[in-house]
């Protein structure tokens, strides 16, 4: 089986974003001071369609919020996870079910080791060192 790859170089990430239109953001906070909200606002200003995934919210940044990735009926190009490391694994398995071109999250070294499942399913993963 071909495996995915873990990347963190700017050139490759830029190429991925140039070929992206839709981004699901798991853990998108409605609070403007949170990183997830700042990133989502930036992505919207750049013309990307975002899908907030945050149980208990109706709308975030003017977009319908979804309780889970399973509730999004439109294919997404990127799944971006803003969650504490202890909650990453369930979202990794959820993302695999949707087969995005790319997934990204903030990871610690221990979390990177546990996310080999993304690679084994041919998903490309990027991280920001936490």
Which residues, other chains included, contact 1 with Cβ-Cβ below 8 Å and sequence gap of 6+? 120, 122
| Amino acid 111: pLDDT | 53
- Could you report the per-residue pLDDT of 51-100, keeping only the tens digit for each? 999 999 999 999 999 999 889 999 888 888 887 767 766 767 777 677 66
Asked whether 74 and 22 are in contact (CB, 8 A), the reply is: yes
Which is more confident, 6 or 30? 30
Which is more confident, 105 or 84? 84
- Could you report the per-residue pLDDT of 81-91, keeping only the tens digit for each? 887 767 766 76
Q: CATH second-level architecture of 6-129?
A: 3-Layer(aba) Sandwich (3.40)
| Amino acid 119: pLDDT | 52
């Amino acid at each position: 089986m071909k495996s995915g790859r873990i990347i963190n170089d700017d050139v490759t990430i830029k190429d991925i974003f140039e070929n992206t239109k839709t981004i699901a953001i798991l853990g998108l906070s409605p609070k403007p001071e949170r990183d997830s909200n700042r990133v989502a606002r930036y992505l919207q200003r750049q013309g990307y369609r975002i899908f907030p995934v945050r149980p208990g919210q109706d709308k975030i940044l003017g977009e319908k919020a979804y309780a889970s990735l399973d509730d999004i009926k439109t294919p997404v190009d990127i799944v971006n996870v803003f969650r504490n490391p202890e909650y990453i694994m369930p979202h990794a398995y959820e993302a695999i079910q949707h087969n995005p071109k790319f997934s990204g999250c903030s990871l610690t070294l221990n979390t990177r080791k546990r996310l080999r499942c993304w690679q084994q399913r041919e998903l490309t993963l990027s991280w920001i060192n936490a």
